[in-house]
């Protein structure tokens, strides 16, 4: 049985393919369209997923979508007639609903001459989020929580996952949302592009939360773990806010009202200097977000008395908060899949459909993120052969390593010399993090490496940290925890005595966004770090995404183009080493 899962006409549009209860392929549309967070119909991601199994559209048995317009119908209707929303906002919602209900026609248009014989399943947004984490977790039973902006009139949902079932126990509904709070404050701080929340998270470490009292006016904690926004400070509940979800980079107009500037002072303009006040606001935003999250989680724990947690939704991408869950709540085992945001809803929708259709107790565990396209050495050789004259003219060398150990030794020497290495291997990662297959790798020991990367390749804000990829066995020696973090989803304190040894991956507050690397899920990346440890005594490397202010590279052509237009020293694709003289 083949099930296609979709996140469609929303930011981070994506598709996945589930075969007999097991994930076989997943990718975000942005990787093929080359526009960050691409929103619309994920035609190319679907095309890739089908090609991975070499099947056609008419061989798909079911299509599951992470949205159901009929979910929470009565609360929607009451709000529509309450007078709280403008007609333009209601019209915007109706147009999005129409697009999502035309998916069968869009699929058949995308694949001319093929008919979709399978059944469509529309899965409520937050159920898809919950499923995207619980149904692929290692747990048979766990508390499961979803926190994001909005989907199907809810912003937060929680309950218990047991075997093939998820029992939803509570919700927070529109217009109250932790995701909208964080997004509105991100806009206030001058980071206006969709998905910029991680910039606030990075900036927060540079100050104390001096605006906590003001933040507690904006968002308030209520009984039973819930929260509410003071709607004086927001526009989303009344007005059309210009969500652009149609075949483009997402665009969202201003979410905060003028009352916000009365409370906090003038909003920062994009590209204007970041003042100490902005850093303090960012710190306060992060602090009150954590207060609300832990308030929610602690109440949920007291309700269910379980120590295992799966977390999903866009807010589950807040790796700083995630790293504090163990210390601030009684949850001990926490699983967050690599595409926790809306892209992951494609997987959740597909697995909800699978478990509804099948009574057999199948269990799939997503222990790695490598579900995207891969390319052979033959593909890479063909590309290099096509570009050979250009490469030679630019004095670029091409070598082919005979053995993996020789390849790793060659690359490790370059990293240890302070060079910047593009690393393109195997299947592309699922989710927004580069996890060792589409990565840029550097020496974590160099205090100037962050500036080198930003000057020569990344060209991003100086306050944003870079992350360490660590051999799993070495985590407890370098971090103040011993935890599995394969998807770079948690920030933890680096041991104080180790921080001076790895300044390039140590944030200003002494923390690092951890990625644990395993031999059985990525043997080549593991071997590379192992070689670096033998060479330097440091069992980790700086790992950042292979891109230059664009989506992470997908194809060899994109990797080579990024190498050529930046000052990268070396590019390793498969067994080929491309380097500047």
**Calpha distance 531→540 (Å, rounded):** 10
Q: What three-state secondary structure class fits 540?
A: strand
Superfamily of domain 173-335 in the CATH hierarchy: ATPase, nucleotide binding domain (3.30.420.40)
Q: Are 348 and 5 in contact (CB under 8 A)?
A: yes
> What beta strand segments (E) does 341-477 contain?
396-400, 421-424, 438-442, 467-471
CA atoms within 13 A on the CB side of 44: 17
Q: Residues 210-215: contacts with CB within 8 Å, 24+ apart? A: 210/280, 210/283, 210/284, 211/264, 211/280, 211/281, 211/283, 211/284, 212/284, 212/287, 212/288, 214/263, 214/264, 214/284, 215/284, 215/285, 215/287, 215/288
Q: How many residues does the chain have?
A: 581
Superfamily of domain 2-135+341-357 in the CATH hierarchy: ATPase, nucleotide binding domain (3.30.420.40)
What's 481-505 look like in SS3?
CCCCCCCCCEEEEECHHHHHHCHHH
Domain ranges of the chain: 2-135+341-357, 173-335, 377-580
Instruction: Please provide the DSSP assignment of 242-300 as one string.
Output: --B-SSBS-B----B-HHHHHHH-SPPPTTSPPPHHHHHHHHHHHHHHHHHHHHHHHHH
> pTM for the whole thing?
0.94
Q: Are 66 and 7 in contact (CB under 8 A)?
A: yes
Instruction: Please provide the DSSP assignment of 316-343 as one string.
Output: GG-HHHHTTHHHHSS--EEE--S-TTGG
Q: Are 427 and 31 in contact (CB under 8 A)?
A: no
**Calpha distance 351→18 (Å, rounded):** 8
Instruction: Please provide the DSSP assignment of 156-204 as one string.
Output: EEEEEEETTEEEEEEEEETT--HHHHHHHHHHHTT--STTTHHHHHHHG
Q: Are 345 and 130 in contact (CB under 8 A)?
A: no
Instruction: Please provide the DSSP assignment of 116-143 as one string.
Output: --SEEEE--HHHHHHHHHHTTSS-SEEE
Q: For the chain, how many helices (H) and strands (E)?
A: 21, 21
**Calpha distance 208→218 (Å, rounded):** 18
Which residues lie below 8 Å from residue 314, measured CB to CB, with a gap of 6+?
Answer: 147, 148, 149, 179, 197, 340, 341, 342
Is the torsion defined by CA of 295, 268, 453, 565 positive or negative?
Answer: positive
Write the DSSP symbol of residue 233: G
Name the residue among 195, 277, 50 with its Cα closest to residue 551.
Answer: 195
The answer to whether domain 2-135+341-357 and domain 173-335 are alike in fold is: yes
Strand-pair partners of 308: 333
Fold type of domain 377-580: DHBP synthase (3.90.870)
Could you state, in chain order, the average pLDDT of each consecutive group of 10 residues for the chain (581 residues)? 96 97 98 95 98 98 94 64 54 56 90 95 97 98 96 94 96 95 98 95 97 98 96 85 70 93 97 96 98 98 97 98 98 98 98 91 93 98 95 94 95 97 98 98 96 87 93 98 98 98 98 98 98 98 96 98 96 97 79
* pLDDT score of 87: 47
**Calpha distance 203→225 (Å, rounded):** 27
Which residues lie below 8 Å from residue 377, measured CB to CB, with a gap of 6+?
Answer: 400, 574, 575, 576
Which residues lie below 8 Å from residue 93, measured CB to CB, with a gap of 6+?
Answer: none
Write the DSSP symbol of residue 18: E
Is the torsion defined by CA of 206, 212, 215, 220 positive or negative?
Answer: positive
Q: In what order do the strands lie in the sheet with 490-493?
A: 396-400, 576-580, 570-573, 421-424, 438-442, 540-545, 467-471, 511-517, 490-493
Q: What three-state secondary structure class fits 155?
A: strand
> What beta strand segments (E) does 35-153 contain?
62-65, 119-122, 141-151
* pLDDT score of 100: 57
């Amino acid at each position: 049985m083949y099930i296609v899962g979709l996140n469609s006409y929303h930011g981070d549009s994506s598709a996945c393919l589930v075969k007999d209860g097991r994930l076989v392929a997943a990718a975000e549309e942005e990787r093929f369209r080359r526009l960050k967070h691409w929103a619309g119909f994920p035609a190319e991601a679907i095309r890739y997923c089908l090609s991975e199994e070499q099947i056609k559209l008419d061989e798909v048995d079911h299509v599951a979508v992470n949205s159901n317009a009929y979910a929470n119908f009565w609360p929607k209707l009451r709000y529509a007639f309450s007078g709280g929303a403008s007609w333009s906002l209601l019209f915007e919602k109706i147009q999005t609903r129409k697009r999502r209900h035309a998916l069968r026609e869009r699929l058949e248009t995308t694949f001319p001459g093929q008919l979709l014989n399978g059944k469509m399943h529309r899965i409520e947004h937050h159920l898809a989020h919950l499923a995207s984490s619980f149904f692929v977790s290692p747990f048979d039973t766990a508390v499961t929580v979803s926190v994001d902006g909005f989907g199907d009139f809810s912003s937060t949902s929680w309950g218990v996952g047991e075997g093939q079932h998820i029992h939803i126990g509570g919700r927070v509904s529109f217009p109250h949302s932790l995701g909208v709070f964080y997004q509105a404050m991100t806009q206030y701080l001058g980071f206006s592009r969709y998905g910029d929340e991680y910039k606030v998270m990075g900036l927060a470490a540079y100050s104390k939360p001096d605006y906590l009292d003001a933040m507690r006016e904006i968002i308030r904690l209520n009984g039973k773990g819930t929260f509410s926004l003071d709607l004086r400070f927001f526009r989303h509940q009344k007005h059309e806010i210009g969500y652009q979800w149609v075949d483009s980079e997402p665009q969202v107009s201003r979410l905060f009202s003028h009352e916000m500037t009365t409370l906090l002072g003038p909003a920062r303009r994009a590209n204007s200097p970041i003042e100490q006040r902005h850093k303090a606001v960012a710190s306060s935003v992060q602090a009150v977000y954590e207060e609300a999250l832990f308030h929610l989680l602690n109440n949920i724990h007291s309700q269910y008395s379980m120590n295992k947690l799966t977390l999903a939704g866009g807010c589950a991408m807040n790796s700083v908060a995630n790293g504090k869950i163990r210390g601030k709540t009684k949850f001990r085992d926490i699983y967050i899949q690599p595409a926790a945001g809306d892209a992951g809803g494609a997987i959740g929708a597909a697995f909800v459909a699978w478990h509804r259709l099948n009574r057999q107790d199948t269990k799939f565990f997503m222990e790695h993120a490598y579900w995207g396209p891969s390319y052979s050495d033959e593909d890479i050789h063909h590309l290099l052969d096509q570009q050979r004259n250009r490469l030679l003219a630019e004095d670029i060398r091409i070598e082919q390593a005979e053995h993996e150990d020789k390849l790793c030794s060659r690359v490790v020497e370059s990293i240890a010399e302070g060079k910047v290495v593009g690393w393109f291997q195997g299947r592309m990662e699922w989710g927004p993090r580069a996890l060792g297959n589409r990565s840029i790798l550097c020496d974590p020991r160099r205090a100037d490496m962050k500036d080198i990367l930003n000057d020569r390749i990344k060209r991003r804000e100086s306050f944003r940290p870079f992350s360490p990829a660590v051999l799993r066995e070495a985590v407890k020696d370098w971090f103040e925890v011993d935890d599995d973090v394969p998807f770079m989803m948690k920030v933890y304190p680096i041991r104080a005595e180790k921080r001076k040894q790895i300044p390039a991956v140590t944030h200003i507050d002494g923390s690092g966004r951890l990625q644990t690397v395993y031999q059985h899920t990525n043997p080549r990346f593991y071997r590379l770090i192992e070689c670096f440890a033998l060479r330097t005594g440091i069992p980790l490397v700086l790992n950042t995404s292979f891109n230059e202010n664009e989506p992470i590279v997908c194809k060899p052509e994109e990797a080579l183009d990024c190498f050529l237009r930046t000052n990268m020293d070396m590019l390793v694709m498969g067994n080929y080493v491309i380097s500047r003289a």
